[in-house]
Amino acid sequence: MKILLIGPQPQPITGLSLANQVVMNYLPKYTDCTIDIIDTNYNVLKEDLGKFSFQKVLYYMMQYKKLYKIISADKIYITPGQTFFGVLKYFPYLLCSKILKKAIVIHIHGNHLWKEYKNLKGIKKKIFHKILTMPDKGIVLSSSLRKNLLPFLPSENIYILENFVEDFLFEDTTEKKFDKLQIIFLSNLMKEKGILDLLEALVILKNNNIDFEAKIAGGMDSEMQTTIDYYLNQLDSHVTYLGLVYGEEKKRLLEWGNIFVFPTYYSMEGQPISNLEAMTTGNILLTTQHAGIPDVFKNEVNGFYIDIKSPTSIVDRLLNINGNLEKYQYISKNNILEANEKYRVKSFIKKLDTILRA
């Protein structure tokens, strides 16, 4: 079976582009499929995803010269955006696929699509609906996210495919230390990912003479640079910003930490891969009841919920853990076991292959 993947690849790294990279690398390894790609990534990290710009229009117009790849494919696998323009830019691929009578599978990696549709009016709403009824099947990341495709596809044609953790994070893990708070943030440094809430919480910890160390990694929106530098200067030796991390460097970071803080309220959030990576490496998670997170996270089993936009909620939970680090080691052990059972790449790819063939 010949698959054509139409969607973003790294760079920049996002949960969606990483997922597409894994599909590109491992679908031919674990199945008898071959795969080609049309990379739709606009290589700029900005928080205003889905906003119209002439630069983006010109970039995507250039990508349409690759429409010929649809001709030789058996199945078209598309991972679109979740805004009006994030969907509209895929219309030429969908239209060409329908004309050529190709089977189309759309994979939504978030929880914003249904909100976007609800808020659209008039002709834009009709266009949005028309485009999203063109695929034959759809995939979402967890059960609570099915609502994103229910306005467009029959329920029986919507499949659930949970995210994954790359294999190298399961291999030769080092023993976790629990002698003090070692805090990690690993995601793009965007306001809606909660980075400023975490930094504010760390300032409070420092001012109260709490013993901790924190490491922050991820790409940064240039517009956030000044604000983040302000916090880092206050936190001096308590916090290290590592920039982008990959491979073994990311593995060492996740193994070093014991607390993973992810206070996201990102409007495009689905089922964050970074949370699953933190589980795999035995971290206690502090995260929000947002998007698809409650489908894969249990309070006091995988970690603890924190409130959205609330540095004091982060502080309160960290102080509680700080006084009971030994007690909460059971969460670390549970997360490693659960990740091994549920989030292997091979399982993810096999399930995707089954859906593509259905």
Say what the pLDDT of residue 172 is: 86
Question: What pLDDT does 221 receive?
Answer: 81
Q: What is the pLDDT of residue 50?
A: 52
User: Picking from 59-63, 106-110, 189-193, 215-219, which range would have the lowest pLDDT averaged per residue?
Assistant: 59-63
pLDDT of residue 350: 98
Tell me 34's DSSP state.
E
Question: pLDDT exceeding 90 applies to what percent of the chain?
Answer: 89
pLDDT recorded at residue 51: 61
8 A C-beta contact, residue 117 and residue 128: yes
Band of residue 263 on the pLDDT scale cut at 50, 70, 90 = very high
Closest CA to 113 of 152, 147, 82, 151: 82
Reading across the β-sheet that carries 2-7, which strands appear in turn? 34-39, 2-7, 75-78, 103-107, 137-140, 158-160
**Is the bond into 225 cis (omega within 30 degrees of 0)?**
no
Q: What is the mean pLDDT of residues 245-258?
A: 96
200-220 tens-digit pLDDT: 999 999 999 999 999 999 999
For residues 279-306, give the mean pLDDT: 98
CA dihedral 317, 319, 322, 323 (to 10 degrees): -110
All domains of the chain, ordered by start, with CATH?
Answer: 2-164+343-357 (3.40.50.2000), 168-342 (3.40.50.2000)
Residue 59's pLDDT is: 82
Three-state secondary structure readout of 159-203: EECCCCECHHHHCCCCCCCCCCEEEEEECCECHHHCHHHHHHHHH
Which pLDDT does position 44 carry in this prediction? 61
Least confident of 93-102, 253-262, 301-310, 323-332: 323-332
Backbone phi and psi for residue 229, each to the nearest 5 degrees, phi listed first: -60, -40
Q: What is the pLDDT of residue 52?
A: 58
Residue 185 pairs in a beta bridge with: 216
Q: Across all residues in the chain, what is the average pLDDT?
A: 95
**Helices (runs of H) and strands (runs of E) counted in the chain:** 13, 12
Looking at 42-51, 90-99, 177-186, 209-218, which range is the least confident one? 42-51
pLDDT per position as a tens digit, 14-30: 889 999 999 999 999 99
Measured between alpha carbons, how far is 25 from 142 in angstroms, rounded to an integer? 23
Render pLDDT for 110-130 as a digit per residue (tens, 0 to 9): 999 999 999 999 999 999 999
pLDDT of residue 175: 87
Question: pLDDT > 70: what percent of the chain?
Answer: 97
Q: Are the beta carbons of 147 and 118 closer than 8 angstroms?
A: no
Q: Phi and psi (nearest 5°) for 337?
A: -65, -45
Task: Give me the pLDDT at residue 304, please.
Answer: 98
Torsion of CA 30, 281, 301, 182, to 10 degrees: -160
DSSP string, 89-155: TTHHHHHHHHHTT-EEEEE--SS-HHHHHHH--HHHHHHHHHHHTS-SEEEESSGGGGGGTTTTS-G
Q: What is the pLDDT of residue 209?
A: 97
pLDDT exceeds 80 at position 235: yes
pLDDT of residue 73: 98
**Rounded CA Rg of the chain:** 21
320 burial level (CB within 10 Å; 0-12, 13-18, 19+)? exposed
Confidence label for 46 from pLDDT (cuts 50, 70 and 90): low
Region of poorest pLDDT, from 52-66, 133-147, 237-251:
52-66
pLDDT tier for residue 56 given thresholds of 50, 70 and 90: confident
pLDDT at 303 exceeding the cut of 60 = yes
- With bands split at pLDDT 50, 70 and 90, how would you rate the model's confidence at 222? confident
Query: What pLDDT does residue 60 have?
Result: 83
